[in-house]
Chains A and B, each alone.
Chain A
Amino acid sequence: GAVVSQHPSWVICKSGTSVKIECRSLDFQATTMFWYRQFPKQSLMLMATSNEGSKATYEQGVEKDKFLINHASLTLSTLTVTSAHPEDSSFYICSASIGGWTDTQYFGPGTRLTVL
């Protein structure tokens, strides 16, 4: 149980285009979803926290207009990288929790974004 999927698993796009990454909780309803970014050989950095039906809360230094997060349902959150640039190339990982601030986060397999 508690499976989280991400789609696509990898994507290559041209500079200036927008890319959407989906995060789905397959067998549970996720009140809260989290988006992380991971540069090569570095740790995970939290980008934003989203609650279903509410605006996402972004961490300091994360551009909300560049990284659009939508959590329209209890099983789906999307991250859209707008006007992507090569420096946005990274590994993006989402996680989901059933509810409550003490709840366990279940992680997706990640999406590798390469911007040419």
Chain B
Amino acid sequence: KQEVTQIPAALSVPEGENLVLNCSFTDSAIYNLQWFRQDPGKGLTSLLLIQSSQREQTSGRLNASLDKSSGRSTLYIAASQPGDSATYLCAVRRYGGATNKLIFGTGTLLAVQP
């Protein structure tokens, strides 16, 4: 059974700092991995999607890496801003099967202090 864990569970940093969020998964047979952002009481916003054959993806100040063999992904946020404050979720899509189910991680609550 696929289990997805995120460390740390919560993080508070001053504005301007670079930071790394971690995601680990137990079954390396994944199709892709996706990072989402969730604001309080809101739905999900997709940030980056990495296919299993890729090593990293970049979008603006965000960079996500994937090491499938070790079951790890990181989300790097450069020059953090108060507007980055949110919960960040990673999710893996298993390889094969009849449906494209996503297994979500436990989330990291990020607070960027002005």
B97 in the interface, Cβ–Cβ < 8 Å? Answer: yes
Residues of A within 8 A of B99 (CB): 32, 49, 57, 101
Q: Is the CB of B100 within 8 A of A100?
A: yes
Please name all residues of chain B whose beta carbon is closer than 8 Å to the beta carbon of A67 when the two chains form the complex.
none
Across the interface, which residues of B come within 8 angstroms of A105, CB to CB?
A: 100, 102
For residue A83, give the distance in angstroms from its CB to the closest CB of chain B: 26
**Contact of A49 (CB < 8 Å), options: B45, B93, B101:** B101
Contact segment of B36-44, B53-61, B73-81: B36-44
The contact size tier of chain B is 20 to 34
Whole-angstrom CA separation of A7 from B100 in the bound complex: 24
Distance, CA A110 to CA B39, complexed state (A): 11
Instruction: Report yes or no: B104 in contact with A43, Cβ–Cβ below 8 A.
Output: yes
How many of chain A's residues have a CB under 8 angstroms from any CB in B?
27
- Dominant SS among interface residues on chain B: strand
A109 lies within 8 A of B42 (CB): yes
Contact of B44 among A102, A103, A107 (CB under 8 A): A107
Which A-chain residue is minimally distant from B36 (CB atoms)?
A107
Determine the distance from Cα of A106 to Cα of B109 in the docked complex, in whole angstroms: 22
A contact residues vs B (CB 8 Å cutoff): 6, 32, 34, 36, 41-46, 49, 57, 91, 93, 95, 97, 100-105, 107-110, 112
Name B residues whose Cβ lies closer than 8 Å to a Cβ of A.
31, 36, 41-46, 49, 89, 91, 93, 97-107, 109
Complex A-B: 23 CB contacts under 8 Å: A34-B101, A34-B102, A41-B109, A42-B107, A43-B106, A44-B104, A46-B101, A46-B102, A46-B103, A49-B101, A93-B44, A101-B98, A101-B99, A101-B100, A102-B93, A104-B46, A105-B100, A107-B43, A108-B43, A109-B43, A110-B41, A110-B42, A110-B43
- Lowest 9 A-B CB distances belong to which pairs? A109-B43, A107-B44, A101-B100, A43-B104, A44-B104, A110-B43, A107-B43, A49-B99, A43-B106
